[in-house]
Amino acid sequence: MHTIKLVVLAVVVLLGARHGAADMPSAAGMDEHTASMLRQHHSMLTTQAEWDKAKKAVKAGSTADAISPVMKMDFLAKDLDRFMLHKHPEKRPDFLKKAAAYKKLLNEFKRDGEIGDAIAIKKLIPGIDKACKGCHDAFR
Ligand code: HEC
């Protein structure tokens, strides 16, 4: 009885080790999948940090300080089109549409920021929040 348990345990451990090895990036370079995962993870985390900065600036009444974070977001948004979709890869056209709508809002934000239209900027914030959420609900 004891021996059987040990054998089962050994097989489980061995299978686990093999599976782990298969998932490891090769020493020569990460596989395509791991690299794009890291890139999109980093891109989105930076987007989050910049968006927090932008909203904080607007809240504090310094619209001008919100422009530079949104410019960074806009730069990062260029990468969205190359995102590897894990959830609904078959719905890429919808994803691209959402990405385009998001980028349009960022451009409006930049334009209104440059002319110092604080009221327009404030109105855009919930729309951009919704664009993040709308895409995440479907694809994250
Ligand atoms: C057009 C789609 C789209 C838009 C717009 C979008 N995201 Fe994302 N986001 C994603 C996807 C897809 C993932 C999951 C990435 C993955 O699994 O590789 C993600 C993941 C994230 C994550 C988790 C990152 C991680 O890996 O831990 C954060 C944070 C995030 N997004 C913030 C934002 C913010 C803030 C906005 C808006 C200012 C935004 N995103 C707009 C598609 C989008």
- How confident is residue 5, by pLDDT bands cut at 50, 70 and 90? low
pTM, two decimal places: 0.82
**Domain 32-139 class?**
mainly alpha
Under 8 Å between Cβ of 106 and 128: yes
Position 30 scores a pLDDT of 77
Neighbours of 25 (CB within 10 A): 12
Atom 28 of ligand 1, residue of closest alpha carbon: 44
Q: How is the chain split into domains, by residue range?
A: 32-139
Task: State the DSSP code for 26.
Answer: B
Return the amino acid letter for 31.
Answer: D
Pocket lining: 102 vs ligand 1, CB cutoff 6 Å: yes
The per-residue pLDDT for range 60-76, each reduced to its tens digit, is 999 999 999 999 999 99
- How confident is residue 32, by pLDDT bands cut at 50, 70 and 90? confident
Give the whole-angstrom CA distance, residue 128 versus residue 86. Answer: 23
pLDDT over threshold 90, residue 55: yes
Q: Please identify, by atom number, the ligand 1 atom nearest to the C-alpha of residue 131.
A: 5
